[in-house]
Structure 1
Amino acid sequence: MTSSIKPARSSGNLFDAVAQSGGALDERVDALVEQGGVTIERIVSSGHASPPGFWYDSPRAEWVVLLAGAAVLEFAGDAEPHPMKPGDHMLIEAHCRHRVAWTSDTEPSVWLAVYYP
């Protein structure tokens, strides 16, 4: 007898999207998990920056880690930019206005972002 129940698991590789991007400049966002108000995303940025004057202002907190590449974040009211290198992580509280000032255009920047209430 064959079971029609699918296993409750999923797998992949966080760096697969890097090869698929083909070096195009911009940003790719893939939701990996969405459940119970929590979202986990893989973000691949290549030469990406938030548009001038644009600020993220999420109603959920965000924990982000840079896995590869280089980036700079800016926060409203903070004069100092926050450069990030692989392994750097940051907790961004809900409604903390922030933006991506720069990501490397010579190598993809791979982020893992966790959003939660």
Structure 2
Amino acid sequence: MTTPTSLFAGLPSTATFDEQFSELLSRPGLRIERIVSTGQSSPPGFWYDQPEGEWVAVLQGRARLRLEDMPEPVALGPGDFIDIAPHCRHRIEWTDPDQTTIWLAVHYSAA
């Protein structure tokens, strides 16, 4: 039997150098993770290019996500979500340095 856990448990108390990635569930073709950002962004020139799709929601905080095929970054706040297609190059332009940003990411196979 699984013990209930909060998505808001174990958050860093102050800004950290690295984002925190916590795998919450993994099954064939599916991976769910919590990402905690405290002001991080993707390095200059870096783009994610993932073979699987990624549905991502911001639960707390604010961020700007850049998709390569869009002229402007997408602003995300609490409750906002986006589905990123496989191999859609994307990057994190900004996360709020003044508050913790909590993401819920669902990675899924394209098949």
Given the two structures, how large is their TM-score scaled by the length of structure 2? 0.93
- Tell me by how many angstroms 1:10 deviates: 3.8
- Tell me by how many angstroms 1:45 deviates: 0.3
Output the CA distance in 2 between the equivalents of 1:36 and 1:95. Answer: 19
Name the structure with the higher helix share. Answer: 1
- Tell me by how many angstroms 1:24 deviates: 2.1
Q: Secondary structure at the match of 1:16?
A: coil
| Residue-pair matches, total | 108
Identity score, percent: 44
Question: 102, 105, 108: which is aligned to 2:97?
Answer: 105
Q: 1:79-114 CA distances to partner (integer Å, 9 max, x unpaired)?
A: 111010100000000000000000001000000000
Counterpart of 1:15, as a letter, is F
**Higher-Rg member (1/2):** 1
Output the CA distance in 2 between the equivalents of 1:102 and 1:66. Answer: 13
Q: Secondary structure at the match of 1:86?
A: coil
Question: 23, 36, 39: which is aligned to 1:31?
Answer: 23
Q: Is the 8 A contact 1:17 1:44 kept in 2?
A: no
Q: Which runs of 5+ in 1 are unaligned?
A: 1-6
Q: Which runs of 5+ in 2 are unaligned?
A: none
2:4 maps to 1:11: yes
Question: 83, 86, 100: which is aligned to 1:91?
Answer: 83
Alpha-carbon RMSD: 1.0
Output the CA distance in 1 between the equivalents of 2:33 and 2:10. Answer: 12
Q: 1:16-60 CA distances to partner (integer Å, 9 max, x unpaired)?
A: 132xx1212331000000111200000000001000000001100
Counterpart of 1:23, as a letter, is T
Given the two structures, how large is their TM-score scaled by the length of structure 1? 0.88
